[in-house]
Structure 1
Amino acid sequence: MFTRRRVLAGATALGGAALLPTIAAAKGGLTAAIYPGTWEDAYRAIVIPALKKTYDVDLELQPLFAVDEVAKAKAARGAPPFDCFVLDPGPRITAIEAGLFEKFDGKKLSNASKVPSAFIDEWGICVGAQVVGIAYNPKKLPAPKGWKDLLTDPWVSRLGITGFQTTFGTVSLIEIAKQFGGSETNIDPALVELKKVLPKIAAVGQPAAMPGLFQQGQCDVMYTNTQTVATLKGKGVDIEFVKPESGAVAFYTTLHIAKGSDAIDNAYKYFDTVVSTPVQEALTKPPYNFLPANKDVPIPPDLPMKSLDEMSTYVLHDWAKINPLRAGWIEKFNKEMAK
């Protein structure tokens, strides 16, 4: 079972994704929200054809960031705009509290045994995991040992930072705050220390801009997730991932059935397809570089763990505590860190 600490962390509103029109689930069809970018590209290339081939189900994807999914479903007032959510931990808890999910029965999945038992609960199933730490250019900088190093030379003058809009940004800033006496609910020490070195910092950008800033050499060290590192490395960028000495951060991405969906059977077929071994194997390969949720799929060699079980030792966060504070943090960061 997911505990609130073990649930995934939310990827987020980087601005409004287009609110697409509601698409009624036709017979044999299914509509699912999907994160824009790598997730959408991967699911269009791999999941859609696999679901059609295995179950003859047509999948329609609506690209939306997690908080936009929740907002759109709330606004629909019981007439779900899509059949399935994809969410990280923060938005997941918000959606549970708002009653936006159907109850989930993992026994309906033929591939349930291939997924760690902790990855299935009464609300949904984990289909991917992510690890957050520090990325740096090894040709320009020595490897930092931990979060505190980012605010000292030689790293700070090549540092790129982003705010609390995404899961990876939120957890990284929480971990920086902890190094200076802060906590999951007190990020002020991070902002105080960042403000001291702000004139030295190489770049402050929106989350979606960070990979490009790194690739262009506008920054040479940043906090990010393993998927971004693997994707940039696949493009020939000089980049390596560092697991901070205080521990890398883990979070999980889950699928859920929307309350009131009229395509529940097809939703289970969709979830079963996503966690199947062939699909999970394909998702781990470049250019997608997903961390698998299927125990039979090997962990890619450049990731900082050898098995999914290792992730239970990583730093996890309580999003029930973080969620109520996050909007204020976003506003504060944007106000204080603008350059």
Structure 2
Amino acid sequence: MTEFRRRHLLGAAMAGAALPFGGARAQGTTMTAAVYPGGWDEALRDVLAPRLREQGITVAFEPLFAVDQIAKARAARGNPPFDVFVLDPGPRVSGIDFGLFETFDPAKLSNLGQLPPGQADAQGAAVAAQVVGIAYNPTKVPKPKGWADLFKPEYVSKLGLTGFGTTFGTISLIEMAKALGGSVENMDPLFAELRRIRPSVAAVGQPAAMPGMFQQGQIDVMYTNTYTVTLLRSRGVNIDFAVPETGAAAFMTTMHIAKGSRNIDAAYKYIDAMISTPVQAALSQAPYFFVPVNKDVTPGADVPMRSISEIGNFVTHDWAKINPVRPQWIQRFNREMAG
């Protein structure tokens, strides 16, 4: 995921309002939570950690991408290196398959009612959403109607391509394959088109490089999430978000308590605070631009929904099918699109 990058630090004013937890405060508890490097790390240190301190809980953050969290937890062999995971759908399925999570009881979340039905289960709880579509510079190219448009000459020469290494990249490329007559089971139509446009495409690069290329005018079209669009616009970049005619894709980022955690009560409070209205409202604003999962918090203007309750209207994907074949896609993309 997720794919939240380089945010400026929020002022100390964000650390204000206390959260409405019932029961006694924990005293002197220290827990460790995995967090995505970059923007997530900054945001949770600024917004979430101060509210946990009000509960007597000190959080030590460990910046790790999702696949690295899974690898580190597996290598620990029952001695979890952190108390809470934060994961996108693919690594979440891997964590379930490897038995890395404590059984989760949603009833222990005082803010459970703020989540849409089904967004907390026996594995963990949703804490943020991502909405994925097409970003374009409206002063340079017309608004794309759908994924297949990206293979037309007027877009190819301005297109930034990135592979299957991220969740947003993977689902974007799957949607392109579907638009070209393919599927998760048959990605050949996608790779045939990628090979065809390779000599003319503006750039092929790492996901983290795409926003900078867009800002510098090296590309004018890319597939990305609404967070990136809002962040670039806040920096004065001409950029809009296009919802493909087949619909924007969406997925949830979730938190899970590590199997064998010695700070389970604190871990529940950590996740509960993350989904609370004050934290979700703060994280949805500049400079963070999270897509809130709390029903009482309105997503930002670039997000094509007015409440997380609309998430069922978006395109979703079956990661139990994707995970086994994704490594092959990554290797194939790197091999065929390199150079």
Aligned to 2:31: 30
Contact persistence 1:137–1:239 (CA under 8 A): yes
Report the CA distance between 1:189 and its aligned residue. 1.2
Structure 2 gap ranges (5+): 4-26
Q: Name the CA distance, whole Å, in 2 between partners of 1:260 and 1:208.
A: 34
Q: For residues 237-294 of structure 1, what are the alpha-carbon distances to aligned partners after superposition, in whole Å with 9 as ceiling and x for unaligned?
A: 1110000001110100000000000000000110111011110000000111001011
Is 2:43 the counterpart of 1:42? yes
Contact persistence 1:104–1:121 (CA under 8 A): yes
Contact persistence 1:34–1:65 (CA under 8 A): yes
Q: Name the CA distance, whole Å, in 2 between partners of 1:123 and 1:92.
A: 9
Q: Name the CA distance, whole Å, in 2 between partners of 1:116 and 1:330.
A: 33
Q: Name the CA distance, whole Å, in 2 between partners of 1:85 and 1:300.
A: 26
The sequence identity of aligned pairs, in percent, is 58
Q: Name the CA distance, whole Å, in 2 between partners of 1:108 and 1:322.
A: 32
Q: For residues 55-111 of structure 1, what are the alpha-carbon distances to aligned partners after superposition, in whole Å with 9 as ceiling and x for unaligned?
A: 111011111000000011001100001110000100000000100000001111111
The one-letter amino acid of 1:38's match is G
Alignment of structure 1 residues 207-286 onto 2, 5 Å: 207-286=207-286
Q: Name the CA distance, whole Å, in 2 between partners of 1:246 and 1:302.
A: 18
Is 2:112 the counterpart of 1:121? no
Aligned to 1:199: 199
Q: For residues 139-192 of structure 1, what are the alpha-carbon distances to aligned partners after superposition, in whole Å with 9 as ceiling and x for unaligned?
A: 111111000110102111000010000000000000111112211232221111
Q: Name the CA distance, whole Å, in 2 between partners of 1:185 and 1:61.
A: 38
Alignment of structure 1 residues 24-103 onto 2, 5 Å: 27-53=28-54, 55-103=55-103
The one-letter amino acid of 2:289's match is N
Contact persistence 1:11–1:165 (CA under 8 A): no
Aligned to 2:317: 317
The one-letter amino acid of 1:291's match is V
The one-letter amino acid of 2:184's match is E
Alignment of structure 1 residues 167-182 onto 2, 5 Å: 167-182=167-182
Q: Name the CA distance, whole Å, in 2 between partners of 1:235 and 1:91.
A: 32
Aligned to 1:17: none
Aligned to 2:143: 143
Secondary structure of the 2:153 match is coil
RMSD of aligned Cα (Å): 1.2
**TM-score normalized by structure 1?**
0.91
**Greater CA drift, 40-49 or 177-186:** 177-186
Contact persistence 1:73–1:100 (CA under 8 A): yes
Contact persistence 1:184–1:317 (CA under 8 A): no
Q: Name the CA distance, whole Å, in 1 between partners of 2:120 and 2:106.
A: 6
How many pairs does the alignment contain?
316
Report the CA distance between 1:11 and its aligned residue. 4.2
Q: Name the CA distance, whole Å, in 2 between partners of 1:201 and 1:309.
A: 38
Q: Name the CA distance, whole Å, in 2 between partners of 1:287 and 1:297.
A: 16
Contact persistence 2:284–2:290 (CA under 8 A): yes
Contact persistence 2:31–2:59 (CA under 8 A): yes
Contact persistence 2:229–2:302 (CA under 8 A): no
**TM-score normalized by structure 2?**
0.91
Aligned to 1:153: 153
Aligned to 1:185: 185
Contact persistence 1:173–1:187 (CA under 8 A): no
Q: For residues 172-231 of structure 1, what are the alpha-carbon distances to aligned partners after superposition, in whole Å with 9 as ceiling and x for unaligned?
A: 000111112211232221111011011110000111111111111110000001111111
Report the CA distance between 1:27 and its aligned residue. 4.9
Structure 1 gap ranges (5+): 1-9, 13-25
